[in-house]
Structure 1
Amino acid sequence: MTTLKRRVARAIRVFEKIMPPPLLAVLICALLAGYLTFVPPINGLADNGDYYRAMYSNGIYKLLGTHYNYFGYVTQKFGLMKYYNEYRSVNFSSQPLFVKLAIWLNKLFYSKSIFDIRFMGLVNYGFYLGSIYMITDAFTYPAKRLRNYVIAGLVVFIFGDSSFTLYFNSFFAEPQMLSMTLYSFAAILLLARQRYRHRWPLIILYAISTMLLISSKSQNAPLALSYVVVTLGLLFLPNFKAQRLYIFVGMGLLLVTGGLTYKLIGSSFTDINQYQAFSHGVLTQTGDPSKDLKKGGIDEQYALMKDQDYYAKQFATIQPSQSYVKKNLLPNYNFAWIVKYYATHLKQFGRLMDLTAADVMITQVKAVGDYTKASGQPAGKQVTFFTGWSQLAGAFFPQKFAFDCLLAVAIAMVYAVGCYNDLRNHESEGVLRFFLVLGLLTMFIFVPIISIVGDGDADLAKHIFMVPVSIDLIFILFVSDILNHRLWHAYHEEDQTS
C-alpha cells in the first residue's frame, strides 16, 4: 500500500510538472472554442444590423449576388474591397486593429478578394487563449497543489462557456473586450502576487489592454473611471515611490482614452442610441407614457414607438432613420432629458433596473442565430453546446437590482478586511486586490444604469457584457482565495495545507 501511494504521488508530481493548471485550462478552452469557431458547419453570431460599423470602414462588404442574412443565420463569406474605400469609421474605436489583422491573415493565407469570418475568429481565438493562460496563472500562483486544478476547471467552465466564444466569428467588439479584461485583471493580480521580478512588462500589459478595452466601443467610455480606481492600487506597490508619477500619467491616459471614445462618437451612432433609449427605455415598464411625453414637450404620438428597434425586424410604425424622426423627435430630448425623466419616475426606473438585473448573467445573445444556413438548422437557432455556466447563472442568479447592490457592498467589505490586514503588515497583495475588486464592482453596478439611460433595454446581453465578466472574475477570485487561504491577507506558505 505504501509503494502504491508513492507511485500515485510520483505520477501526480509528473502530471503537475508537464501539465500545470494554466496549460491544462488553455488546452481545454482551445478544444472547446476551436470546435465552435473552425469546425464546419461553423458557429458564431448573425448580424443584428451593427456589423457595418466594423465592416465597411475596414474594406469588407456583403458579397454581391448573394442573399445576406440578418438575425437568422451566420454569414461566413464577405467581399474585400480592392480599390478606394469611401467609408469612414462611425466612431473612435480600437476594434479596427483586430479587424485589420484578420484581413491581413486572410489575404496572406486565403484570398485577397473574399473574406472568411473564420479569420476574425482566429484573431479573437489567439488573444483569448493567451488571456486564459494568464488569468489561470494569476489565480493559482504560487501554490502548487491539486486544488489549483479545481480553480483551472472553474476558469474553463465559466470563460470557456460558448456564450462567450460564439462572439469569435462575428464583427462584434465583445471578444476583444473579454480578452483585454482578462489580460488587465491578470496583470494586476500577478503584480499583487509578485509573480515576476520585473514589474514593467505587466504594468505595460495592463495599460495597453485597458486602453484597448475602453476604446473598443463607445459604451465603454465610462469604464475609464472604473479602471482609475483599479490603477490606484498600483500606488501601494513596495519600492515603487519613485515611479508613482508614471502611475498618475497612466490614469490621465485612461481618462483621455475614455474621453476620446465618448467625444468622437459618430452622429449616426448617437441617433441609434438616442432613439432606443427612448423606445426601449422611456416608453417601457409603464402603463400610458403619452401623458408623460406631453409634459416633457414631446408629441404623444411617439408613444406608438414602444419597444421598436432602430433596425426593425418586421413592420415599423415609422422608420427611425427617416428625416421626420430626426427633425421632430430626436431634437426634443437628450441625455439630460432622460436623466430628469427617470429622476421623476423612480418606480419605472426601478422596474427597468430589475429587468436589467434579470438579464445580467444571460450572456448568450438571443436576438440572433448561431448557425450558418448550410448547417440545415432553422433560422435563429441557438447553440446549446457547453453553455452550462450561462444557463445555470442565468436561471439562479437573483433578479433584483437591490440584491446586486447589496452583493457589491458585501464583497467590498470582505476584501476591505484583507486590505486593512495587509496595510498593517506592510504587504501589498491585499491592497491591490481590494482596488481591483472595487473597480470591477463599480462596473457591476453602474454599467446597467448607463446602459438603460443610454440605450434602454435593447440588446442588453451585449450592452451589459462587462457586468457578467466582472462578477465572474470576482467569483473565481473569491473561490481561489478561499482554497489557497489568502482571503483575509497576503499569501503565506505556512498557512497552506496539503
Structure 2
Amino acid sequence: MAILKQRFGQVARVFQKLMPPPLLAMLICAGLAGYLIFIPPINGLADNGDFYRAMYSNGIYKLLGTHYNYFGYVTQHFGLMKYYNEYRSVTFSSQPIFVRLAVGLNKLFYSRTVFDIRFMGLVNYGLYLGSIYLLTDALTFPSKRWRNYLIAGLVVFVFGDSSFTLYFNSFFAEPQMLSMTLYSFSSIMLLARQRYRRRWPLLLVFMLSTLLLISSKSQNAPLALSYTVVALGLLFLPHFKAQRLYLFAGIGILLITGGLTYTLIGKNFTSINQYQAFSHGVLTQTGDPSKAIATNGIDEQYALMKDQDYYAKQFAAIQPPQSYVEKNLLPKYNFVWIVKYYMGHLKQFGKLMDLTAADVMITQTKAVGDYTKASGASPGQQVTFFTGYSAIAGAFFPQKFAFNCLLAVAFVMVYAVGMYNDLRQHEIEGVLRFCLVLGLMTIFIFVPIISIVGDGDADLAKHIFMVPVSLDLTFLLFISDILNHRLWHAYREGTTTE
C-alpha cells in the first residue's frame, strides 16, 4: 500500500510538472473554442447590421451575387477589395488593427479576393488563449496545491463558455475586449504577486491591453476612469519611485485615449445612439410617454417611436434616418436633457436599471443566429454547446440593480480589509487587489447607467458586455483567494520567482 501511494505521488508530481493549471486551462479552452469556430459547419454570430463599421474601412465587402444574411445566419465568406478603398472608419477604434491582421493572414494563406471569417476567428483565438493562460497563472501563483486545478476548471467553465467564444467568428469588437480585459487583469495580479523579477513587461502588457480595450469601441470611453483607479494601485509597488513619472504619463495617455474615443465618434453613429436613447429609453417603462415628453418640450407625437430601432426591421411610423427626424427631434434633446429627464422620473429610471440587471449575466447574443445556412440549422438558431455557465448565471442571478450595488459594496469592503491588513505588514498585494476590484466594480455599476442614458435598452447585452466580464473576474479572484487562504492578506507560505 505504501509503495502504491509512493508511485501515485510520483505520477502526480510528474503530471503537475508537465501539465500545470495554466497550461491545462489553456488547452481545454483551445479545444472548446477551436471546435466551435474552425470545425465545419462553423459557428459564430450573424450580422446585426453593425459589421459594416469594421468591414468596409478595412477592404471587406459582401460578396456580389450572393444572398447576404442579416440576423439569421453566419456568413463565412466575404469579398476583398482589390483597388482603391474610398470608405473611412466611422469611429476612432483599435479594432482595425485586428481586422487588418486577419486580412493579412487571409491573403497570405488563403485568398487575395475572398475573405474567410475563420481568419478573424484565428486572430481572436490566439489573443484569447494567451489571456486564458495568464489569467489562470495569476489566480494560482505561487501555490502548488492541487486545488489550483479546481481554479483552472472554474476559469474554463466561466471564460470557456460558448457565449464568449462565439464572438470570435464575427466583426464585433467584443472578442478583443474580452482578451484585453483578461490581459489587463492578469498583468496587475501578476505584479501584485511578484511573479517575475522584471516588472516592465507586465507594466507594458497592462498599458497596451488597457489602451486597446478603451479604444476598441466608443462605449468603452468611460472605462478610462475605471482603469485610472486600477493604475493608481501601482504607485504602491516597492522601489517604484523613479518610475512614478512614467506611471502618471501612462494614466494621462489612458485618459486622453478615452477622450478621443468619445469625441471622435462619427455623426451617423452619434445620431443612432441619440435616437435609441430616446426610443428605447425615455419612451419605455412608463405608462404615458407622450405626456412625459410633452412636459419636457418635445412633441408628443414622437411617443409613437417607442421601442423602435434607428434602422427598423419592420414597419415604422417614420424612418429615423429621414431629415424630418434629424431636424425636428434630435436637436431638441441631448445627453444632459436625458439625465435631467431621468432625475425627474426616478421610478422609470429604476425600472430601466432593473432591466439591465436582468440582462447582466445573459452573455449569449440572442438577436442573431450562431450557424451558417449550409449547416441546415433554422434561422436564428442558438448554440447550446458548452453554455452551462451563461445559462445558469442568466437564470439565477438576481434581477435587481439594488442587489448589484450591494454586491459591489460587499466585494469592495472585503478587499478593503485585505488592503488594510497588507499595509500593516508592508505588503503590496492587497493594495493592488483592492484598486483592481474597485475599478472592476465601478464598471459593474456605472456601465449599465451609461448604457441606458446613452443608448437605452437597444442591444443591451452587447452594450453591457464589460459588466459580466468584470463581475466574472472578481468572482474568480474571490474564489481563488478563498481556496488558497489569502482573501484577507497576501499569500504567506513562501513565494518563488523566476
In structure 2, the residue matched to 1:277 is 277
Amino acid of the residue matched to residue 210 of structure 1?
Answer: T
Distance (whole Å) between structure 1 residues aligned to residue 477 and residue 167 of structure 2: 24
In structure 2, the residue matched to 1:61 is 61
CA RMSD of aligned residues (A): 0.8
TM-score between both structures, scaled by the size of structure 1: 0.99
Distance (whole Å) between structure 1 residues aligned to residue 133 and residue 295 of structure 2: 55
Residue ranges of structure 2 left out of the alignment (5+ in a row) = none
Partner deviation per Cα, 1:387-435 (whole Å, 9 max, x = no partner): 0000000111110000000111111000000000111111100000100
In structure 2, the residue matched to 1:397 is 397
In structure 1, the residue matched to 2:140 is 140
In structure 1, the residue matched to 2:473 is 473
Verify: 1:371 aligned to 2:385, yes or no: no
In structure 2, the residue matched to 1:243 is 243
Verify: 1:126 aligned to 2:126, yes or no: yes
Distance (whole Å) between structure 2 residues aligned to residue 413 and residue 95 of structure 1: 36
Partner deviation per Cα, 1:240-277 (whole Å, 9 max, x = no partner): 11111111111101000000000100000001100110
Distance (whole Å) between structure 2 residues aligned to residue 117 and residue 311 of structure 1: 25
In structure 2, the residue matched to 1:20 is 20
SS at match of 2:74: coil
Percentage identity across paired residues of the two chains: 81
Distance (whole Å) between structure 1 residues aligned to residue 243 and residue 432 of structure 2: 16
**How far off its partner does 1:50 sit?**
0.5
**How far off its partner does 1:326 sit?**
1.0
Amino acid of the residue matched to residue 418 of structure 1?
Answer: G
Greater shift in the superposed pair: 260-269 or 305-314? 305-314
Partner deviation per Cα, 1:340-397 (whole Å, 9 max, x = no partner): 1000000000000000000000000011110111011110000000000000001111
Amino acid of the residue matched to residue 457 of structure 2?
Answer: D
Amino acid of the residue matched to residue 402 of structure 2?
Answer: A
In structure 2, the residue matched to 1:453 is 453
**How far off its partner does 1:463 sit?**
0.3
Amino acid of the residue matched to residue 214 of structure 2?
Answer: I
**How far off its partner does 1:334 sit?**
0.6
In structure 2, the residue matched to 1:73 is 73
Distance (whole Å) between structure 1 residues aligned to residue 103 and residue 287 of structure 2: 49
Verify: 1:409 aligned to 2:409, yes or no: yes
SS at match of 2:292: helix
Distance (whole Å) between structure 2 residues aligned to residue 483 and residue 97 of structure 1: 39
Partner deviation per Cα, 1:134-181 (whole Å, 9 max, x = no partner): 000000001111100000000000000000000000000000000000
TM-score between both structures, scaled by the size of structure 2: 0.99
**How far off its partner does 1:494 sit?**
6.7
In structure 2, the residue matched to 1:347 is 347
Amino acid of the residue matched to residue 288 of structure 2?
Answer: D
In the TM superposition, 1:145-156 aligns within 5 A as: 145-156=145-156
Distance (whole Å) between structure 2 residues aligned to residue 23 and residue 332 of structure 1: 56
In structure 2, the residue matched to 1:182 is 182
Distance (whole Å) between structure 2 residues aligned to residue 264 and residue 494 of structure 1: 49
Amino acid of the residue matched to residue 47 of structure 1?
Answer: D
SS at match of 2:79: strand
Distance (whole Å) between structure 2 residues aligned to residue 317 and residue 56 of structure 1: 30
SS at match of 2:276: helix
**How far off its partner does 1:212 sit?**
0.1
In structure 1, the residue matched to 2:162 is 162
Distance (whole Å) between structure 2 residues aligned to residue 483 and residue 345 of structure 1: 45
Superposition misfits of 4+ residues, deviation over 4 angstroms:
none
Distance (whole Å) between structure 2 residues aligned to residue 282 and residue 33 of structure 1: 39
SS at match of 1:78: strand
In structure 2, the residue matched to 1:30 is 30
In structure 2, the residue matched to 1:234 is 234
SS at match of 1:70: coil
Amino acid of the residue matched to residue 134 of structure 2?
Answer: M
Distance (whole Å) between structure 2 residues aligned to residue 47 and residue 131 of structure 1: 26
Amino acid of the residue matched to residue 196 of structure 1?
Answer: Y
SS at match of 1:53: helix
Amino acid of the residue matched to residue 294 of structure 1?
Answer: A
Distance (whole Å) between structure 2 residues aligned to residue 254 and residue 396 of structure 1: 36
SS at match of 2:191: helix
In the TM superposition, 1:401-440 aligns within 5 A as: 401-440=401-440
In structure 2, the residue matched to 1:107 is 107
SS at match of 2:450: helix
Verify: 1:384 aligned to 2:384, yes or no: yes
Residue ranges of structure 1 left out of the alignment (5+ in a row) = none
In structure 2, the residue matched to 1:314 is 314
Amino acid of the residue matched to residue 344 of structure 2?
Answer: T
In structure 2, the residue matched to 1:328 is 328
Distance (whole Å) between structure 2 residues aligned to residue 325 and residue 400 of structure 1: 35
In structure 2, the residue matched to 1:359 is 359
**How far off its partner does 1:297 sit?**
1.6
Distance (whole Å) between structure 1 residues aligned to residue 422 and residue 142 of structure 2: 18
In structure 2, the residue matched to 1:292 is 292
**How far off its partner does 1:293 sit?**
1.2
Amino acid of the residue matched to residue 417 of structure 1?
Answer: V
**How far off its partner does 1:292 sit?**
1.3
SS at match of 1:493: coil
**How far off its partner does 1:475 sit?**
0.4
**How far off its partner does 1:34 sit?**
0.3
SS at match of 2:233: helix
SS at match of 1:115: strand
**How far off its partner does 1:321 sit?**
1.1
SS at match of 2:12: helix
